[in-house]
Amino acid sequence: MRSVITRLLTADPELQVVGTARDGLEAVEKTRALRPDVVTLDVEMPRMDGLSALRRIMAEYPCPVVMVSSLTQQGAATTVRALALGAVDFVPKPSGPVSLDLHRVGAELVRKVKVAAGVPRQRLQPWERAGTLTRVAGARPDGPAPAAGARVARAPLGDHTTGPEAAPADATGRSGSSEAGSPRAPTPRRLSHLVVIASSTGGPGVLYRLLGALPAGLQAGLLVVQHMPAGFTAALAQHLDQSCALVVREAQDGDVLRDGMVLVAPGDYHLLVEAGGRLRLEQG
C-alpha cells in the first residue's frame, strides 16, 4: 500500500514525497526527523497502529494528517476516532494496485493532501483537549437529565407525545401556549428555529467544538451535512452524541426534528425539510 500511495501522490507535480515508513513507529520517527507538511497514515500498521502513531505525532510534532481507512463499519469507527485525535481528513483505502477505483481515490487523496497542507497548526488540537464536556442538570430533548452515572434511555425520533397533544405551531414555527391555569403533561418540544451546517475537510473537529459549546435546552434544531462516504456519518453522529449535551443522530427518512436535536445527513443523501420539521432523505 505504501507504493500505491506514493505513486498516487507523486503523479501530481505540485507534491513531493519526502519519505515513507514501514510501520507506525517509523512513521513517528520520520515525522519528527523530516518535518513534512502533511502525513498520510494507514490505520492498520505493524508494531504501532495508526491511532497510536497519530497520538504520538500530535503530541511530539503536530502536523496535518490524512488517514487512509477501509470502508467498513469498524474502519468508519476507527476513522472517526482518528479525527477526534486530530487528523484533518481521511480517504478510503484503494482495494488494490490495479483496482478500478484507483483513479478516483488518487484524485481524492491529492485534493485532500493539498487542502490539509493549508490547515494552520493551531487548528490541529485533538477534540478531547479542545475543552471538557459537563452535562448539567436540565433535560436533554428526549428526556430528563439522568442521575450521575446513569444511562439515558433514548426515545425514538417521531411524532408521538407522552401527554396531551402538543399545541400546534403557528406560522413562525413557534408552538402555541396552553390556556392559563390548565396543567399540561410534558410534550416533545417543537421546532423553534432551524440551523443548517454544511462542512467538508476539517469539518468534524469544528462540529465537535461548535456542538460542545451549545446547551441542552437550545431552542433550535440543527441539520448537519458532512461530506463523508455512506457508513461513516453514523459513526460520526454517535461520537458527537457522546461528546455534547445535544442529542445527535444520523437522520432517517420520516424523522421529526425538534429543538435541541442534531440530525446528520447519511452519506450520499440530501435532507429535505417538510412542514412541521419532518425530514425526507433524497439520494443524490
Q: What is the CATH number of the domain that holds 230?
A: 3.40.50.180
Does any domain span residue 154? no
Q: What average pLDDT is seen over the chain?
A: 79
Please report whether residue 113 resides in a domain.
Answer: yes
Residue 119 sits in the same domain as residue 198: no
3-class SS of residue 5: helix
pLDDT at 218: 94
**Could you identify the residue written with the cell 442529542?**
247
Alpha-carbon gap, residue 129 to 122, rounded angstroms: 12
Domain contains 155: no
Sort strands 261-264 and 247-250 into parallel, antiparallel or unpaired. Answer: parallel
Write down the pLDDT at residue 76. Answer: 85
How confident is the model at residue 57, as a pLDDT? 95
Instruction: Report the CATH number at residue 40.
Output: 3.40.50.2300
Domain that holds residue 9: 2-126
Query: Is 136 part of a structural domain of the chain?
Result: no
End residue of a domain, out of 126, 145, 179? 126
274: in domain: yes
In a domain, 43, yes or no: yes
Give the neighbor-by-neighbor strand order of the sheet with 89-92: 39-42, 65-69, 89-92
Q: Look at residues 126, 151, 166 and tell me which one is the last residue of a structural domain.
A: 126
Residues 228, 120 within the same domain: no
- Residue 141 amino acid letter: P
Structural domains of the chain, count: 2
269-273/279-283 β-pairing = antiparallel
d(CA 98, CA 111): 20
144 is a domain residue: no
106 and 216: one domain? Answer: no
Q: What is the pLDDT of residue 144?
A: 37
pLDDT digits (tens, 9 = 90+) for 214-255: 998 899 999 999 988 888 999 999 999 998 999 999 999 999
- What percentage of the chain reaches a pLDDT higher than 70? 74
Residues in the chain predicted with pLDDT less than 70, given as ranges, are 71-73, 95-100, 127-189, 284
* The predicted structure's pLDDT at residue 20: 95
Give the residue from 86, 101, 126 where a domain finishes: 126
Q: Hey, how many other C-beta atoms are within 10 angstroms of the C-beta on 230?
A: 13
